Structure 1
Amino acid sequence: MQNLAHNGTQKPKFSLHPNAARIVTVALLVVACTAPLAIQQYLSISPELVGAIGIPAIILFGFIGSVTVVLPVPVLSLVFAGATILNPITLVVAAAASITAGMAVCYIMGKRGHSRAVRAAETSQQNFPAPITNLYSWSTENVGTASFLLAATPNPVFDYAGFIAGAGRMNAQRFLAGTFAGKITQASVIAFLGHTVGERITSIL
């Protein structure tokens, strides 16, 4: 009887059906691949330009883009364009590490209650649809998974992820590890496409 009573008081946990999880994963990968390619088409970033600025510039752009939030830096488009000239592995790691480093700074600002972090968190909660804001409680219990999904796809939520994670006192190690893994995954797919079939894909888009 005690077990029944105990079970009756347990709150149901949010979980995804295995098939739904697979569909979401595939959809995220498709978005992660196509969005930067479309951006690259409109920006017309040449591989020669990326080769000229080199890895250090990509690291700088990735860090600045993550910290400033509002400054649009096409780091992933640079990864796509430079994959045929620069070392793909070095390129992917540099982009992912620089973006993660920027997110670490945003996390610290959010955790310390910086006024900018508070404004960013309030703005994100007001502007994003209810289904997105409702995922906040789930993300606090699954920090690594949530940060991985946000980092692996281009979306407006990721720009505020560091501030929100810091303000919410989420686990820093899990947040940064998930962010780095997500950006490694996204950048790897983009670099692979840029290195193999980049010219054909951009000519179709």
Structure 2
Amino acid sequence: MPINYRALGMFAYPGVFLVCFIANATTFVPVPYVPVVMHVARTAESIPLVVVLGALGSVLGESVAFVVGRAGERLAEENQWWRRLERFLAKPWLAGLFLFLFAVPPNPLFDVAGLAAGALGVRYGVFFIAVFAARIIRLGVVAWLGINLA
């Protein structure tokens, strides 16, 4: 039974945030947030609001993996391969670029990148900005597809 997103009114916007947050905070339970964003974008009055709230929910959801990685930072320091990766990502702009490029396409391995960023000591601000910008692009494309493929 299809959901009438227009009938949700203003509740559709926080719904997009919540669905994107849950979908990106969980690793083992797939939550199909892309169709939700597509459908809400198709009926929403403010497409930019759908995209920004979806991206915000997405980056905050991905922050769960970042925090878990930060908690396991000490375990990672003992691995030589990990130390090489840490030197490679020591520059904030390089870490941000890596995270941005990894976060734009639909990538099921991004949880690993979030864990690694936390464990490697990447600053949260760098993580947040890179992933938020990437998810703006991704969800902008998803919203555009939802509107134009209807």
Tell me, yes or no, whether TM beats 0.5. Answer: yes
Structure number, greater radius of gyration: 1
Measured against aligned partners, the alpha-carbon deviations of 1:73-103 in whole angstroms (never above 9, x if no partner) come to 1222211122121121111011100011112
The answer as to whether partners of 2:5 and 2:43 remain within 8 angstroms in 1 is no
Residue 193 (structure 1) shift = 2.5
The answer as to whether partners of 1:75 and 1:95 remain within 8 angstroms in 2 is no
Q: Secondary structure at the match of 2:16?
A: helix
1:98 to 57, 65, 69: 57
| Alignment match, 1:191 | 143
Higher relative contact order (CA 8 A, sep 6+): 2
Indicate whether 1:160 and 2:112 are aligned.
yes
The answer as to whether partners of 1:80 and 1:198 remain within 8 angstroms in 2 is no
| Alignment match, 1:125 | none
CA distance in 2, matches of 1:60, 1:169: 27
The answer as to whether partners of 2:13 and 2:50 remain within 8 angstroms in 1 is yes
The RMSD of aligned alpha carbons is 2.7
The answer as to whether partners of 1:139 and 1:146 remain within 8 angstroms in 2 is no
Indicate whether 1:59 and 2:10 are aligned.
no
Question: Between Structure 1 and Structure 2, how many residues are aligned?
Answer: 136
Residue 153 (structure 1) shift = 0.4
Residue 183 (structure 1) shift = 0.3
Unpaired segments ≥5 residues, structure 2: 77-81
CA distance in 2, matches of 1:189, 1:51: 24
Unpaired segments ≥5 residues, structure 1: 1-44, 122-132, 200-205
Indicate whether 1:79 and 2:37 are aligned.
yes
Aligned identity (percent) is: 29
The answer as to whether partners of 2:86 and 2:120 remain within 8 angstroms in 1 is no
CA distance in 1, matches of 2:42, 2:108: 29
Runs of 4+ in structure 1 over 4 Å off: 136-139
The answer as to whether partners of 1:51 and 1:85 remain within 8 angstroms in 2 is no
| TM-score where L is the length of structure 1 | 0.58
